Chain A
Amino acid sequence: MKEDKITILGIESSCDETAAAVVENGRTVLSNVISSQIDIHTIYGGVVPEIASRLHLENVNGVIRLALKEAGKTFDDIDAIAVTKGPGLVGALLIGVSAAKALAFALHKPIVGVNHIRGHVAANYISHPELKPPFVCLIVSGGHTHLTIVRDYRDLMIVGKSVDDAAGECYDKVARAVGLGYPGGPKVDKASKGGDPEAIVFPKGEVRDRPYDFTFSGLKSAVLNYINKANMTGEQICVPDLCASFQQTVVDSLVSRTMDCAKAYGIKNVALAGGVSANSALRAAFQKACEENGFGCFYPEPIYCTDNAAMIAAAGYHDYLAGDVSDMTLNADPSLKL
């Protein structure tokens, strides 16, 4: 019975969510517990690393206990522990890594250090049991914009990336500029409902000779200039139109490159991953473009788009199978590369 099921306890603490989950065979989520700190950080207009680290430490035991309880499992049932080792806030990552190493040592279980961004990709395996590599995956989050080809579960090729700001970062800055506050992604998405996406034409950034790379700094400047100009001339800004037009520009740039990549490499399945993949405009445009091109379209359910530990367990499962486990020197790496 035990042989055909691998049960992994995942732990995630890279930013402002303390999370633990129990996942079987990298696909079946038995529990997915997330303790969000977002209400506290909103006071400061962004994540305060010191506060985040303190809260992770207070919450880490609670989320692990609850994840086991909801899964109906005990530590004895766990085959391995997977923990986010980076990228993220170093002080925050260290809580998960330190607690996970101590747990693994005391329980005599293997420990797997997982790349958070690869975790986001693996979230698709949870939401789509039929999805298998190869597929094109667009990873969009607060800190990352990467166009990749997932050749195998542990073999990911980067085809393009943002040469300046990440898409999520751009959302945060625009949200701040129009007074929507933090977090920018969901706020801009909501504000753009009912707005006219064609109202304002913003420049679509292109990177010369690099067809799959992204650039958002020009777009960001254009939006900020537009706001400054309107403020100076006393012109009223229509926030829904501004947000919708900005969002349309970002989405177009993301979707068109993803489709171009899939066509060029002859890959039939396309997936979204990362926090920004919860964005409704991006999902809609992505779905439509996939239908037009006859591609299979995949994105995780919203709960697996946000930072969570189920995706960490899902990614860690493949590392565990490959024997890629860590020892007690496992460390947090805040700038871990994809």
Chain B
Amino acid sequence: MKILAVESSGTPASVAFWEDGKIKAEFTITDKLTHSVTLMPLIESMTKICGIDLTALDAVAVSAGPGSFTGLRIGVATVKGLTLALNKPAVKVSSLMGLSRNIFAPGCFVCPLMDARRGQVYAALFRNGKQLLSDSALSVEDYLDIVEEKAGKTGRCIFLGDGAPVHRERIEERLGKRAVFAAPGSSLQKASSIAVLAAEELAAGNTVSSDDLVPDYLRIPLAEQMEKAGTLEDAGSRSLKKIARGDKKHA
């Protein structure tokens, strides 16, 4: 079985090629470059250097979220284009579950968290491959409440993802010596982890058609939130409408 995997949910642009249980290649850029400029050239060069025959792929996998909305859409639009052209299925993998697979830590609580802005993180919780908290958008404090509750007084918690260094101080305050942080090389999103998880999904028959593939944003657009809450139509809501629409002056 052959899988091409794409990960662009955060800062890294990463692509990987998986074949019969092995990661054959992984190309990653972790510098803050635009995914729309880096992602396809990464795929192009990996394909060329490794002699990958795209028509022989069994599926194309994508880190479907949560994460940066624009980053997710570039990854998903790219995979939609590839699978549409190749007439292949897509496989969706959670970006947080992908992060948890960057490390092998039996018995430990694996805590991936990504900066989600608006005072929140995207986070989940895993132990021995089992997901104890589903992918969520929540405040760091709420997240650490859950981690503390699940890990108890002695459980070792490994934090990773771009939210880990940002909230390191608070995490250490709350969890003390129970908290450890993943090494830089395994702390950010990697397409190889997406590929490994995608292989499991593919073996279980969990594929998505090219047409139906969409990201898992975890959040509805701000304008829709305001509309549902009724704040969009409130008196004097002209400026709210502008914010909701993302008019330049208010963006």
A267 at the interface (CB under 8 A from B): no
Check A48/B221 contact, CB under 8 A, given A62-B211, A98-B77: yes
Give the residues from 46 to 67 in chain A that come closer than 8 angstroms, CB to CB, to chain B: 46-51, 53-54, 57-58, 60-62, 64-65
Question: On chain B, which size bracket covers the interface?
Answer: 35 or more
CA distance A106 to B44 in the complex (A): 10
Number of interface residues of A (CB under 8 A): 38
Q: Which of A23-31, A127-135, A293-301, A327-335 contacts B (4 or more CB under 8 A)?
A: A327-335
Give the residues from 20 to 41 in chain A that come closer than 8 angstroms, CB to CB, to chain B: none
A95 pairs with B232, CB closer than 8 A: no
CA distance A4 to B181 in the complex (A): 63
Q: Which residues of B contact A50 (CB under 8 A)?
A: 69, 221-223, 246
Check A44/B227 contact, CB under 8 A, given A51-B221, A98-B74: yes
Q: Which of B21-29, B81-89, B196-204 contacts A (4 or more CB under 8 A)?
A: B81-89
B40 at the interface (CB under 8 A from A): yes
B70 pairs with A98, CB closer than 8 A: no
A95 pairs with B223, CB closer than 8 A: no
B31 at the interface (CB under 8 A from A): no
A47 pairs with B81, CB closer than 8 A: no
CA distance A107 to B232 in the complex (A): 45
Give the residue name and chain of the B residue nearest to A45 (CB): B241
B131 at the interface (CB under 8 A from A): no
CA distance A49 to B242 in the complex (A): 11
* Contact pattern, B 214-251, Cβ under 8 Å of A = 1, otherwise 0: 11010001111001000010000000010011110000
A102 pairs with B78, CB closer than 8 A: yes
A91 pairs with B80, CB closer than 8 A: no
A91 pairs with B73, CB closer than 8 A: yes
B84 pairs with A61, CB closer than 8 A: yes
Give the residue name and chain of the B residue nearest to A53 (CB): B73
CA distance A21 to B81 in the complex (A): 16
* Contact pattern, A 278-322, Cβ under 8 Å of B = 1, otherwise 0: 000000000000000000000000000000000000000000000
A328 pairs with B85, CB closer than 8 A: no
Q: Which residues of B contact A64 (CB under 8 A)?
A: 84
Task: Identify A106's interface contact among B86, B211, B221, B244, CB under 8 A.
Answer: B86
Q: Which residues of A contact B80 (CB under 8 A)?
A: 57, 60-61, 99, 102
Chain B binding surface, main DSSP class: helix
B171 at the interface (CB under 8 A from A): no
CA distance A47 to B244 in the complex (A): 10
CA distance A90 to B41 in the complex (A): 20
A58 pairs with B214, CB closer than 8 A: yes
CA distance A57 to B69 in the complex (A): 12
A106 pairs with B222, CB closer than 8 A: no
Task: Identify A94's interface contact among B36, B44, B86, B224, CB under 8 A.
Answer: B36
Give the residue name and chain of the B residue nearest to A327 (CB): B41
Task: Identify B40's interface contact among A57, A62, A107, A328, CB under 8 A.
Answer: A328
A51 pairs with B77, CB closer than 8 A: no
Give the residues from 26 to 45 in chain B that come closer than 8 angstroms, CB to CB, to chain A: 34, 36-37, 39-41, 43-44
A146 at the interface (CB under 8 A from B): no
CA distance A106 to B37 in the complex (A): 17
B227 pairs with A94, CB closer than 8 A: no
CA distance A97 to B46 in the complex (A): 20
* Contact pattern, B 116-160, Cβ under 8 Å of A = 1, otherwise 0: 000000000000000000000000000000000000000000000
A156 to chain B, nearest CB (A): 26
B214 pairs with A94, CB closer than 8 A: no
Q: Which residues of A contact B232 (CB under 8 A)?
A: 44
B44 pairs with A105, CB closer than 8 A: yes
CA distance A323 to B77 in the complex (A): 26
CA distance A174 to B227 in the complex (A): 24
B95 at the interface (CB under 8 A from A): no
Task: Identify B227's interface contact among A43, A46, A49, CB under 8 A.
Answer: A43
Give the residue name and chain of the A residue nearest to B44 (CB): A328
Q: Which residues of A contact B215 (CB under 8 A)?
A: 57
B73 pairs with A94, CB closer than 8 A: yes
A75 at the interface (CB under 8 A from B): yes
A47 pairs with B245, CB closer than 8 A: yes
A residues contacting B by CB (< 8 A) are: 43-51, 53-54, 57-58, 60-62, 64-65, 75, 90-91, 94-95, 97-103, 105-107, 327-329, 331-332
B residues contacting A by CB (< 8 A) are: 34, 36-37, 39-41, 43-44, 54, 69-70, 73-74, 76-82, 84-86, 210-211, 214-215, 217, 221-224, 227, 232, 241, 244-247
**Known contacts A46-B247, A54-B214, A329-B37, then 11 further A-B pairs from the complex at CB < 8 Å, ordered by chain A residue:** A50-B221, A50-B246, A57-B80, A57-B215, A91-B69, A91-B70, A91-B73, A98-B39, A98-B81, A328-B41, A329-B41
30 inter-chain pairs at a CB distance below 8 angstroms, sorted by A residue, are A44-B245, A45-B241, A46-B241, A46-B245, A48-B244, A48-B245, A50-B221, A50-B246, A54-B217, A57-B73, A57-B214, A60-B80, A61-B80, A61-B84, A65-B84, A91-B70, A91-B73, A98-B78, A99-B77, A99-B81, A102-B77, A103-B84, A105-B43, A105-B44, A105-B81, A105-B82, A105-B85, A106-B81, A106-B86, A331-B36
